[in-house]
A = this chain, B = another copy of it.
Amino acid sequence: MEQTLKRLATMQRLQVAGLELFYQNGYHNTSVDDILKKLDLSKGAFYYHFKSKEEFFISIIQNLIVQRVYSALVQPIEGKEDPFTIIEESLDASLETAEHNFFDNGFVLSNFLSETQGKDPEINTYLNDILKIWEVALITSLQKGKSDGYVARHVDSDGVAAYIISAYMGIRLQMACGNAKNLRYKFIQQLRIYFRSLAPQPIH
């Protein structure tokens, strides 16, 4: 019981530190030793809990990344009405935390996706699954929005979802590259214009 707790604690410490370094320097550019050095742990500890670096990363994806994406981008829009407003708010909030984080390195998911795509197919799959969760949440929200009269009937929910995801991933990368300070404001502005043309038009 007590042991199990300690085990989980050490594993979590490793995962948190691992994610931080992977996010900062990239998965391939971060060695297991780097992580261990940061925590004053030894090789033995690491390979006692995880059987390889890859499996370790996958555990991070499934424990930490999935949760962060969910709480930042999925949960806020789930079950709510008025999709455009609520989606805009969730994106704006995410951009705000990114903007105020001096060490922002872009959107976790898209960073790792672009690093592992092609090379590490297994890892890539797990990342894609998370993206899919977000996509489904967006589509569901938009569809519900049609019934509720917030979204025009003719709108292609899949297409809109893909477009939102694209735009968000792209803006996060640009923000991380330090291109202009008011990027977030501009982005939300354009998003709003786009959304407006997807709302039901008053007949005249």
| CA of A177 to CA of B197, assembled, Å | 29
Do the beta carbons of A193 and B190 come within 8 Å of each other?
no
| Most chain B beta-carbon neighbours within 10 Å: one of A29, A156, A160, A166 | A166
User: 5 shortest A-B CB distances, which residue pairs?
Assistant: A166-B170, A159-B186, A169-B170, A170-B170, A163-B190
Do the beta carbons of A197 and B187 come within 8 Å of each other?
no
- Does A100 count as interface, using CB distance less than 8 angstroms? no
Residue A179 contacts which of B29, B119, B128 (CB distance < 8 angstroms)? B128
Quick one: closest B residue to A172, CB to CB? B166
Chain A interfacial positions (CB closer than 8 Å to B): 24-26, 28-29, 103, 105-106, 110-111, 113-115, 117-119, 124, 128, 131, 156, 158-160, 162-163, 165-171, 173-174, 176-177, 179-180, 183, 186-187, 189-191, 193-194, 196-198, 204
A129 to chain B minimum Cβ distance, whole angstroms, is: 11
Do the beta carbons of B187 and A162 come within 8 Å of each other?
yes
| CA of A159 to CA of B147, assembled, Å | 32
Asked, given contacts A28-B29, A162-B171, whether A124 binds B183 with beta carbons under 8 Å apart, the answer is no
Asked, given contacts A28-B28, A28-B29, A162-B171, whether A113 binds B197 with beta carbons under 8 Å apart, the answer is no
Do the beta carbons of B159 and A110 come within 8 Å of each other?
no
Residues in B with CB closer than 8 Å to A28 are 26, 28-29
Quick one: closest B residue to A105, CB to CB? B118
Residues in B with CB closer than 8 Å to A26 are 28, 115, 119
